[in-house]
């Protein structure tokens, strides 16, 4: 299985994002914040995900792009493990990653924190059922 990340795995649409942001359950992992919601999705993928990097602390577009790409790459390389858990539970899930730091993160940090945040989220909301 290739570790791809295509369009249908991305969370889009104003209403869906708003639903996740307002009613979703959050996990905090220092510069990142993961908000997730178990909900049915009209896609073959087990999950859809969006990455948000607000303008407040990273003023330059180059820095925001770089940060988002690092986050996406960290998700891409590990998503298959999480997909397996969701398939086993027969659930679909929408996730929203928000970056809350004030400088571009390092690759090693990003990879570690993103992975840990999703693991914690799944442990709290899927594994116990």
Partner RNA sequence: CCUGCGCACCGCUCCGCCGCUCCGCCCGCCUCGUGCGGGCGGGGAGGAAAGUCCGGGCAGCAUAGGGCGCCGUGCUUCCUAACGGGAAGGGGUACCACUGGUGACGGUGGUGCCACAGAGAGUGCCACAGAGAACAGACCGCCGAUCCGCCGCAAGGCGGAGGCAAGGGUGAAAAGGUGGGGUAAGGGCCCACCGCGUCCCGCGUGAGCGGGAUGGCAGGGUGAACCUCACGGGCUGAAAGACCAAAUAGGCCGGGUCCCUGCGCGCAAGCGCGGGAUAAGGGCGGCCCGCCCGAUCCCGGCGGGUAGGUCGAUCGAGGCCGCGCGUGAGCGCGGUCCCAGAUAAAUGGCGGGGACCCACGGGCCGCAAGGUCCGGGGGUACAGGAUCCGGCUUACAGGUGCGCAGGUACU
Partner RNA sequence: GGCCCCGUAGUUCAAUUGGAUAGAAUGACAGAUUCCGGUUCUGUUGGUUCCAGGUUCGAGUCCUGGCGGGGUCA
18 or 123: CB nearest RNA:
18
- Which of 69, 80, 84, 123 is in the footprint of RNA by CB under 7 A? 69
- Secondary structure element (H or E) that encloses residue 77, with its range: helix 61-89
Is residue 29 within 8 Å of residue 117, measured between CB atoms?
yes
CB count in 10 Å sphere of residue 16 = 17
The site for RNA, by CB under 7 A, has a size of 32
Q: Is 87 in the site for RNA (CB under 7 A)?
A: no
Mark 24-63 with x for binding to RNA (rule: CB under 7 A) and - for no binding.
--------------------x-----xxx------xxxx-
Burial 107-123 (b: 16+ CB within 10 A, else e): eeebbebbbebbbebbe
**Least distance (Å) between residue 108 CB and RNA:** 8
């Amino acid at each position: 299985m290739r570790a791809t990340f295509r369009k249908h795995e991305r969370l889009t649409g104003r209403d869906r994002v708003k639903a996740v942001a307002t009613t979703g359950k959050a996990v905090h992992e220092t510069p990142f914040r993961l908000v997730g919601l178990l909900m049915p999705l009209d896609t073959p993928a087990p999950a859809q995900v969006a990455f948000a990097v607000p303008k407040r602390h990273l003023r330059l577009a180059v820095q925001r792009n770089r940060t988002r790409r690092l986050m996406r790459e960290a998700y891409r390389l590990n998503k298959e493990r999480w997909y397996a858990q969701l398939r086993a539970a027969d659930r679909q899930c929408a996730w929203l990653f928000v970056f809350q730091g004030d400088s571009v993160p390092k690759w090693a940090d990003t990879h570690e924190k993103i992975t840990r945040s999703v693991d914690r989220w799944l442990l709290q909301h899927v594994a116990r059922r």
